[in-house]
Amino acid sequence: MTGTLLSLGHGYSAQALTRLLLPQGWHVFGTTRSLDKAEALADQNVTPVLWDADLVSEALARSTHLLISAGPDDGGDPSLALAGEAIRARAGALDWAGYLSTTGVYGDHDGGWVDENTALTPSTRRGRARVAAEAEWRAIPGLPLHIFRLAGIYGPGRGPFAKVKAGTARRIIKPGQVFSRIHVDDIAQVLAASIARPDPGAVYNLCDDDPAPPQDVLAFAAELLGVDPPPEVPFDKADLTPMARSFYAESKRVRNDRIKDELGVRLIHPDYRSGLRAMLADETG
């Protein structure tokens, strides 16, 4: 199966999906706001589309599949603000549309488990914005929408090794705090599996099998590097930015059964240990 994908907000996860699709003969349009980034996309065999309503609409008219990675901002969903009319007009002609959301829509569950049927009760501004954006995309008639709620994303270039090596990492200790996470390669394979087996209206949690306290991940990274673990700092004494502090406002364990049962996905990295080992192997060659 091949097609033409328009990627709105062609970032880290979309790039990983593209690396799977291009060898299969797909054509990928990727949006960007920067001429320099447009050149980089072209070097990756992605057709760059500048963030302009007419240019995005033209690419959409030539696309069979749509991936929305751009998150909401103070003005709401940026893709719909830019090209909502064209998206609504093209909706019924698309074979698949995917919206990358976040497990933050579930809010805080004091370390308890959530799945795709859990009520959406976000406690952060970002989470509430995502709930609103999901609803706005769902409301588009005829759009074959699939929603992917992503846990914390890590992978090449996005991991703890640099900070651990530099000695700037800290293990922030908040009793009972757990996070779910997902390696970018697993995000890509889930999206590809959904494209191959579309089910409009479906919602999927994207996370691994092992929710864990963040300090455990840093300690394991240090172990792999053969250095002492970063120092422990109590949460109430940590000097965190408002953004960093907001991540600790919610604690939950996220279930991923649906991607396995309905899409037949077998995780490449079922836990952070597997993912970190693979990342370190790539970095060291």
Residues 176-218 have pLDDT tens digits of 999 999 999 999 999 999 999 999 999 999 999 999 999 999 9
- The residue ranges of every structural domain in the chain are 4-154+182-208+254-269
Q: Per-residue confidence at 285, pLDDT binned at 50, 70, 90? A: low
Say what percent of the chain tops pLDDT 90: 92
* Token pair of 133 as six digits: 């954006």
Mean pLDDT of 249-255: 96
What is the arithmetic mean of pLDDT over 113-140? 96
Looking at residue 204, its amino acid is: Y
**Residue 260 pLDDT level (bands cut at 50, 70, 90):** very high
Q: pTM for this one? A: 0.96
Region 3-19: mean pLDDT is 98
Instruction: Classify residue 54 as exposed, middle or buried by CB count within 10 Å of its CB (0-12, 13-18, 19+).
Output: exposed
Residue 127: closest CA among 249, 9, 10: 249
CA gap 220, 97 in Å, rounded: 37
Q: How confident is the model at residue 230 (pLDDT cuts 50, 70, 90)?
A: very high
Rounded Cα distance, 61 and 29, in Å: 11
Token pair in block for residue 66: 């749509």
pLDDT at position 65, please? 98
When the pLDDT of each residue in the chain is averaged and rounded to a whole number, the result is 96
Tens digits of residue pLDDT in 57-74: 999 999 999 999 999 998
3-state secondary structure string, the chain? CCCEEEEECCCHHHHHHHHHHHHHCCEEEEEECCHHHHHHHHHCCCEEEECCHHHHHHHHHCCCEEEECCCCECCECHHHHHHHHHHHHHHHHCCEEEEEEEHHHHCCCCCCEECCCCCCCCCCHHHHHHHHHHHHHHCCCCCCEEEEEECEEEECCECCHHHHHHCCCCEEECCCCCECEEEHHHHHHHHHHHHHCCCCCCEEEECCCCCECHHHHHHHHHHHHCCCCCCEEEHHHCCCCHHHHHHCCCCCEECCHHHHHHHCCCCCCCCHHHHHHHHHHHHHC
| pLDDT confidence band for 20 (50 / 70 / 90) | very high
CATH 3.20.20.70 fits 4-154+182-208+254-269, yes or no: no
Query: What does the block give as tokens for 112?
Result: 């308890």
129-143: pLDDT as tens digits: 999 999 999 999 999
Residue 243 binned pLDDT confidence (cut-offs 50, 70, 90): confident
Which of 5-14, 192-201, 233-242 has the least mean pLDDT? 233-242
